Chains A and B, each alone.
Chain A
Amino acid sequence: MSDFNPKIVAFVCNWCSYAGADKAGALKLNYPANVKLIRVMCSGRVDPQFVMDAYREGADGVMILGCHPGDCHYRTGNVKALKRYKLLKKTLSQFGINDKRLKLDWVAAGEAALFQKVVNDMAETVKELGPLHITGYVEQGGK
């Protein structure tokens, strides 16, 4: 399993986490290239459908990164993200998807090193879990 390179989709909020990622880039902090960042205006913008779609399209892990509680540019978007995340995690476990494959965390604009750590940890965790292999009807349906 050592050559398994997990695909990870990370939704990052425009105001904090994307800026944090940007700073990590400016500081030349390494993080795995297979973590694909998708910038959204707020972690509260992350519709649970986005997460489902990411898994269906082949992601082995999904991250939602937002501003620290109390720091949300839109006041409470990140709290809404947290509630959706908790409910989604509970639902995903019924779909047999290990809850470590979905992660929500807070990264501020200045926390480049934290961004690097959070992303590296997730990549490591998902690598250990192995490929997701969604084997629902999507692949097998076939007319």
Chain B
Amino acid sequence: MAKPKVAFYWCASCGGCEEAVVDLAENILDVVAAVDIILWPVALDFKYKDIKAMEEGSIAVSFINGAIRTEEQKKMAKLLRKKSGLVVAFGSCASLGGIPALANLTSKKKIFKRSYLKSPTVVNPDGIIPKTKSVIDGYELTLPEFYKTVYKLADVIDVDYYLPGCPPTPELIANAVNAILEGKLPPKGAILSPDKSLCNSCDRNESKPEDVEISEIKRVIDIELDPEKCFLAQGIICMGPATRDGCGASCINGNMPCTGCFGPTDSCKDQGAKMIGTLGAILEGEEEEAIDKVIEGAVDPAGTFYRYGLAASMLGSARKEEEDE
């Protein structure tokens, strides 16, 4: 019997998700023995035209990581959707928008201005900005369109399963691959990680006082972090209460607070708003003045509470300015 065909593809991503696949270490040999990898741009040389020539549905599963930032990424996602039986949104960016979706708090115009004109490392005396079409010496050159908004994968194609994490852990990947190979799949649309909050399995839960009270919001650079005490009890914003479990608390074990890469649990629709709700209950202060003072410590609330979840949030992106329309 022919081995099932598997594709790995990356969109707007950093390559960390590819690294996670490699982190399967020797287990990757089992995966390779069980499946045929037909596309993996980061590691193997295959051509898009070969994918286009394949029959519809002939790829068993496509693992797509990264957010959708450009026209090319959307096209490839659509192509893989057509050719695949299953599509798995791999990692935070494909699932929730991830770090690239933080760009939704600014505008395309501002991004181009910064990247191509103002950045101190850029020398661009003619002020050239990438265009989808330009003609040079009679030759027409094209580039994919850079969208005004960063989308999560599910905004542009139908997604069967989600593997959260920045990046997903080797355990979760192995579990997902095994479930697919054995045909033991959960209902469509499932997030392949436990549906409870990180605090549930956090070792520091024991150290959490009955009533956590934050009198001053601190950043990790401000204090020496206690390696055993609950971060919230130390005044550090830890996204644990609003974040899905399944990562093995790897950041906490490295004495860093959770930044929320696994996204919210099933019962929560907006991770950032949920975290605001949580903090509202534990920030100290009764009078407006005292409250204002504590909140001053939250220097970048949108970037902190929606670090990975902006494209999956209820608002999705900042209100677009007229100039960008």
Contacts and interface: CB of A to CB of B under 8 A. Distances in A.
Contacts of B318: 94-96, 136
A143 B311 CA distance: 15
Interface of A: 47-49, 51-53, 55-56, 69, 79-88, 90-91, 94-97, 132-138, 140-143
A136 B317 CA distance: 5
Contact of A83 (B152, B157, B268, B285): B285
A51 B270 CA distance: 11
B38 interface: no
A49 B270 contact: yes
B276 A87 contact: yes
Q: Could you tell me the dominant secondary structure of chain A's interface residues?
A: helix
B295 A137 contact: no
11 contacts: A48-B273, A56-B314, A80-B281, A84-B276, A91-B276, A95-B315, A96-B320, A134-B316, A136-B149, A137-B150, A138-B315
* Most A-side CB within 10 Å, residue of B105, B149, B292: B149
Contacts of A97: 315, 319
Contacts of B226: none
B103 to A, nearest CB: 12
Interface of B: 104-105, 148-152, 155-158, 268-270, 272-274, 276-277, 279-281, 283, 285-286, 288, 291-292, 295, 298, 300-303, 305, 311, 313-321, 325
A86 B105 contact: no
Contacts of A52: 270, 273, 313-315
Contacts of B149: 136-137, 140
A81 B321 contact: no
Given A83-B280, A94-B302, A94-B303, A138 B316 contact: yes
Contacts of A53: 269-270, 314
Contacts of A48: 270, 273-274, 276-277, 280
Contacts of B315: 52, 55-56, 95, 97, 134, 136, 138
Contact of A51 (B273, B286, B302, B317): B273
B314 A79 contact: no
A47 B268 CA distance: 11
* Most A-side CB within 10 Å, residue of B273, B285, B292, B298: B273
Given A87-B279, A132-B319, 6 more contacts: A48-B280, A86-B295, A94-B302, A137-B155, A138-B315, A142-B155
B86 to A, nearest CB: 17
A80 to B, nearest CB: 5
B151 A141 contact: yes
Which 5 residue pairs are nearest across A and B when measured between Cβ atoms?
A: A136-B316, A84-B280, A96-B319, A94-B302, A136-B317
